[in-house]
Amino acid sequence: MNEALVKDVPAARPTGLKGVHYRLYDWVLEWAAHRHARWALFGLAFTESSFFPVPPDVLLIAMALARPARARFFAAITTLGSVTGGIAGYAIGYTLWAALRDWVFMHMGSLGFTLHNFDNVQTLYQNNAFLAIFTAGFTPIPYKVFTIAAGVFEVALPVFILASVLGRGARFFLVAELIRRAGPRVMPFIERYLGLLTLAFAALLVLGFVFIKYLA
């Protein structure tokens, strides 16, 4: 791995709680030069799908820049780790809600957490589950929120897995392909426009589904 990619980070970082995210970011980058970087990439993608705050794109980009010919392979590792972690997030949502739901309905009904409201939201989520999960997987929208919510609302697991594979895979392979073809020159584009482009594409996809549903 190219150690320059790891060392080329800003020296000044905020202190205290504001600096935690930056320190985590730097720590993730350090793994790009490690001999077990591929396992670190898988582990980062896995944990980010349920709780870790730093997206796996950070390590994927560093590793792909160091070895562009392996960019697609790294994207595949990231996708596998993220989807597997998403299934773990689904399990967390499913099991925790099963344990807490009676207490929530009993003590938090006055705040709107009633069985009736929950059933209404669950129906809305399940009716649009594929699109919601795909969008969260492909765009900067926090994927982890949707993995846990999918378990809470008992979305069909095959639907969840398919949407996750397509959404996460599309995002990571897009990043890998851009780096493989353009190298470091594409970094300013990725940093500035990738999030906006994925959001725009997802918005067009949603509009397409709405249009088809309207015609039907």
pLDDT of residue 205: 57
Length of the chain: 216
On the 0-12 / 13-18 / 19+ scale of CB atoms within 10 A, 201 is: middle
**Cα–Cα distances in angstroms (integers) from residue 183 to residues 1, 188, 193, in the given order:** 15, 11, 16
Residues 135 and 201: their CA atoms lie apart, in Å, by: 9
pLDDT of residue 32: 72
On the 0-12 / 13-18 / 19+ scale of CB atoms within 10 A, 101 is: middle
Residues 43 and 216: their CA atoms lie apart, in Å, by: 43
| Beta carbons within 8 Å of 51's beta carbon, 6+ residues apart | 144
How confident is the prediction along the chain (216 residues), in pLDDT tens digits per residue?
444 444 444 444 444 434 454 566 666 667 777 788 899 999 999 999 988 877 888 889 888 888 889 999 999 999 999 999 999 999 999 999 989 888 877 877 776 778 877 887 788 788 888 988 998 888 878 898 889 999 999 999 999 999 999 999 999 999 899 888 877 776 666 666 556 666 665 665 556 555 555 555
pTM, to two decimals: 0.75
